[in-house]
């Protein structure tokens, strides 16, 4: 069987691979850093490089991380948020027809 030649576009800054040329790299955010590279093979080498091995862990074995939370003082809202806002998080609240974005930065407190 003949080897298949395909083209991939690679970001020169971070190595992100795409099947088409992109103006802005979605991984590192740099502009116009993609170059064309020929790949000889069965065409799956780019996919195999980017595969991440995921491991299934039972829910009772997941380690709980201690996160600093800012309580709002509204009992029901704190319950929904898991104890309050998480530092550095962006929370989108919707009430009726309005939306509010709340970005919590503890440095401002």
pLDDT in tens, 50-103: 666 778 888 888 887 788 888 888 898 888 888 888 887 888 777 667 666 666
The one-character DSSP state at 98 is: E
Instruction: Please report the pLDDT score of residue 43 as a whole number.
Output: 47
Reported in sequence order, the residue ranges of 1-109 that DSSP labels E, i.e. its strands, are 4-11, 17-18, 34-41, 69-70, 85-86, 90-95, 98-103
Res 14 pLDDT > 50: yes
Structure tokens at 101: 């974005």
Using one digit for the tens of pLDDT, what is the confidence trace for 93-108?
A: 776 676 666 666 655 5
């Amino acid at each position: 069987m003949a080897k298949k030649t395909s083209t991939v576009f690679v970001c020169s800054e971070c190595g992100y691979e795409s099947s088409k040329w992109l103006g802005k790299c979605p991984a590192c955010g740099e502009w116009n850093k993609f170059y064309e590279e020929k790949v000889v093979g069965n065409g799956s080498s780019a996919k195999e490089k980017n595969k991440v091995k995921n491991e299934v862990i039972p829910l009772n074995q997941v380690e709980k991380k201690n996160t600093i939370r800012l309580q709002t003082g509204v009992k029901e809202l704190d319950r929904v948020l898991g104890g309050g806002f998480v530092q550095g998080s962006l929370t989108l609240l919707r009430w009726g027809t309005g939306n509010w974005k709340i970005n919590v930065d503890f440095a401002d407190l």
